[in-house]
Amino acid sequence: MATVFTTKGDLDESLLEKREGFIDNDHEYTTWVEYWHEGELVHRSAHVMLKKAAVWLNPEVAAIG
Protein backbone atom coordinates (compact mmCIF):
# COMPACT_ATOMS: atom_id res chain seq x y z
CA MET A 1 0.00 0.00 0.00
CA ALA A 2 1.24 3.48 -0.84
CA THR A 3 1.64 5.96 1.93
CA VAL A 4 1.32 9.72 1.77
CA PHE A 5 3.27 12.22 3.86
CA THR A 6 0.68 14.36 5.66
CA THR A 7 0.27 16.75 8.55
CA LYS A 8 -0.60 13.66 10.58
CA GLY A 9 2.48 11.71 9.50
CA ASP A 10 2.59 9.01 6.87
CA LEU A 11 -0.92 7.73 6.16
CA ASP A 12 -2.06 4.92 3.96
CA GLU A 13 -3.45 6.36 0.75
CA SER A 14 -6.54 4.16 1.05
CA LEU A 15 -7.58 6.17 4.14
CA LEU A 16 -7.51 9.46 2.25
CA GLU A 17 -9.75 11.28 -0.19
CA LYS A 18 -7.73 12.40 -3.19
CA ARG A 19 -8.56 15.54 -5.14
CA GLU A 20 -6.66 16.73 -8.22
CA GLY A 21 -6.75 19.68 -10.56
CA PHE A 22 -4.81 21.67 -13.08
CA ILE A 23 -4.27 25.13 -14.55
CA ASP A 24 -3.38 25.47 -18.23
CA ASN A 25 -2.84 28.89 -19.76
CA ASP A 26 -0.24 30.90 -21.66
CA HIS A 27 1.97 31.23 -18.59
CA GLU A 28 1.93 27.82 -16.97
CA TYR A 29 0.75 24.26 -16.85
CA THR A 30 0.12 23.44 -13.22
CA THR A 31 -1.11 20.30 -11.56
CA TRP A 32 -1.99 19.92 -7.92
CA VAL A 33 -3.03 17.08 -5.68
CA GLU A 34 -4.74 17.22 -2.32
CA TYR A 35 -5.35 14.49 0.24
CA TRP A 36 -8.12 14.92 2.79
CA HIS A 37 -8.57 12.91 5.98
CA GLU A 38 -11.83 13.07 7.91
CA GLY A 39 -12.68 16.41 6.32
CA GLU A 40 -9.27 17.96 6.93
CA LEU A 41 -6.71 18.90 4.31
CA VAL A 42 -3.60 16.95 5.29
CA HIS A 43 -1.49 17.17 2.14
CA ARG A 44 -1.28 19.48 -0.84
CA SER A 45 1.44 19.49 -3.48
CA ALA A 46 1.67 21.51 -6.67
CA HIS A 47 3.85 21.32 -9.75
CA VAL A 48 4.15 24.37 -11.99
CA MET A 49 5.67 24.16 -15.46
CA LEU A 50 6.62 27.64 -16.58
CA LYS A 51 5.87 28.25 -20.24
CA LYS A 52 7.55 31.51 -20.95
CA ALA A 53 10.15 33.91 -19.70
CA ALA A 54 9.50 36.94 -17.60
CA VAL A 55 11.30 40.25 -17.66
CA TRP A 56 15.01 40.53 -17.02
CA LEU A 57 15.74 42.65 -14.01
CA ASN A 58 19.51 42.96 -13.81
CA PRO A 59 21.10 41.16 -16.79
CA GLU A 60 24.41 42.91 -16.14
CA VAL A 61 24.93 41.00 -12.89
CA ALA A 62 24.43 37.58 -14.37
CA ALA A 63 27.46 35.38 -14.90
CA ILE A 64 25.49 32.27 -15.57
CA GLY A 65 27.87 30.10 -17.54
Partner 1 sequence: MSEILTATHNFGTAPTRGTSAADTFKAALYLTSATVNAATTAYSATNEVSGTNYTAGGVTVTNATAPTPANSSPTAGVAYWTPSASITYTNVTLSSAFDAVLIYNSSQSNKAVSVHTFGSQTITAGTFTLTMPSNTTTTALLRLSTT
Count the neighbouring beta carbons within 10 Å of the beta carbon of residue 4.
Answer: 19
Asked if 15 is part of the footprint of partner 1 (rule: CB under 8 A), the reply reads no
Q: What is the C-alpha separation between 61 and 57, in angstroms, rounded? A: 9
Contact flag: residue 19 with partner 1 (CB under 8 A)? no
The values of phi and psi at residue 61, to 5°, are -95, 0
- Residue 5 binds to partner 1 (criterion: CB under 8 A): yes
Minimum CB separation from partner 1 for residue 9, in Å?
Answer: 9
Q: How far is the CB of 1 from partner 1 (least distance, A)?
A: 19
Contact 4, 16 (CB under 8 A): yes
Instruction: List interacting residues with partner 1 (CB under 8 A).
Output: 5-7, 23, 25, 27-28, 30, 32-34, 41-65
